[in-house]
């Protein structure tokens, strides 16, 4: 997939009239006095949805006269967080639950509002989150329809008697993450036969379908779930906390113009929309992230 080349928007000084909730961001402790003159470097992680969201953020900012540079496909959270801490990256799409647990591995919050409210205290001093979207994309334990029928699986709890015969697949970092392999083991007393490190997306789906793994960590908004009739196992003990999409940004770059533009995106982004956008990315003609982002922003008037 081609990376989107950094662009410079025309200088448009108008302030966005629509905000996500009609009020200022309650999580920002103080606002920078600057306008949109600074360049904002927008990053994204190493999976398609993050890269699409990063491009949506970038184009929404450019439409309001903000100069944007792009650094897409930066890898996992463990890799790109250093850039956010040292200021080489200013903005990245994030997910509330896993972001909270990254900085506080023992965070007890699992419900959406509780997780969001706990984030400001957990984040480094130079970072803030803006308004969260209704859109949620959670990690999930996913199996094929055949495996679900064979073992009568509806939830992770149902999988427990078969964990010892299950090869589990997912990104390498979930071997250490609080809600990954350690969390599943602690929450459900599930110890898998073995773990197979896989890149998120098509590689993980293929491994599941060809039987290389019997269960896998797949995002709930991945279009491959519906396309391949995969089964998302319920999580009755809430191993996976709420994971709403949220902009994570360098506090010094969060001017009113920037916050209004990004909050307006969040206000329009629900889970159904996120599923639809992922489906567009997976269309047979394989459109570019920039084209899908531009099309959707035009549809919603941003």
pLDDT of residue 207: 97
User: Do 143 and 231 contact (CB within 8 A), yes or no?
Assistant: yes
236: tokens are 């009755």
pLDDT of residue 37: 55
72: tokens are 């897409």
Return the SS3 of 224: helix
Q: β-strand 215-219 against 139-143: which pairing, if any?
A: antiparallel
Return the SS3 of 167: strand
User: Do 43 and 92 contact (CB within 8 A), yes or no?
Assistant: yes
81: tokens are 């967080």
Burial of 271 (0-12, 13-18, 19+ CB in 10 A): middle
Cα 58 from Cα 113, distance rounded (Å): 26
Cα 115 from Cα 28, distance rounded (Å): 16
Q: How many residues does the chain have?
A: 302
pLDDT of residue 32: 41
User: Do 282 and 228 contact (CB within 8 A), yes or no?
Assistant: no
pLDDT of residue 201: 84
Q: Is the dihedral of CA 267, 109, 54, 39 positive or negative?
A: positive
From first CA to last CA, the distance across the chain in angstroms is 25
Relative orientation angle of helices 289-299 and 48-62, to the nearest 10 degrees: 50
- pLDDT tens for the 302 residues of the chain, in order: 333 333 333 333 333 333 333 333 433 334 443 344 589 999 999 899 999 999 999 999 999 999 999 999 998 898 999 999 899 999 999 999 999 999 999 999 999 999 999 999 999 999 999 999 999 999 999 999 999 999 999 999 999 999 999 999 999 999 998 899 999 999 999 999 999 999 888 899 999 999 999 999 999 999 899 999 999 999 999 999 999 999 999 999 999 999 999 999 999 999 999 999 999 998 889 899 999 999 999 999 99
* Closest CA relative to residue 61, chosen from 96, 15, 1: 15
Q: pTM of the predicted model, to two decimals?
A: 0.79
283: tokens are 């269309």
């Amino acid at each position: 997939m081609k990376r989107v080349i950094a662009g410079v928007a025309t200088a448009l000084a108008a302030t966005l009239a629509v905000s996500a909730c009609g009020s200022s961001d309650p999580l920002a402790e103080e606002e920078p006095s600057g306008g949109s003159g600074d360049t904002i470097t927008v990053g994204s992680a190493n999976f398609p949805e993050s890269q699409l969201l990063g491009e949506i953020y970038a184009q929404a900012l450019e439409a309001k006269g903000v100069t944007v540079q792009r650094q897409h496909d930066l890898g996992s959270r463990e890799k790109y967080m250093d850039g956010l801490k040292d200021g080489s990256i200013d903005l990245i799409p994030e997910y509330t639950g896993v972001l909270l647990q990254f900085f506080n591995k023992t965070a007890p919050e699992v419900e959406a509002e509780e997780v969001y409210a706990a984030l400001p205290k957990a984040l480094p001093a130079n970072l803030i989150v803006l308004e969260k979207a209704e859109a949620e994309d959670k990690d999930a334990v996913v199996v094929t329809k055949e495996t679900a029928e064979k073992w009568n699986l509806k939830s992770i709890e149902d999988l427990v008697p078969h964990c010892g015969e299950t090869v589990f697949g997912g990104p390498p970092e979930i071997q250490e993450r609080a809600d990954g392999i350690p969390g599943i083991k602690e929450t459900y007393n599930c110890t898998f036969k073995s773990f197979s490190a896989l890149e998120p997306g098509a590689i993980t789906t293929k491994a599941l379908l060809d039987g290389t793994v019997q269960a896998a960590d797949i995002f709930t908004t991945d279009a491959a779930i519906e396309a391949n009739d995969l089964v998302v196992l319920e999580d009755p003990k809430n191993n996976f906390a709420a994971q709403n999409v949220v902009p994570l940004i360098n506090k010094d770059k969060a001017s009113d113009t920037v916050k209004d533009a990004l909050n307006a995106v969040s206000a329009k982004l629900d889970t159904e929309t996120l599923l639809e956008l992922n489906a567009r990315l997976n269309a047979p003609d394989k459109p570019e992230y920039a084209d899908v982002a531009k099309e959707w922003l035009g549809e919603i008037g941003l």
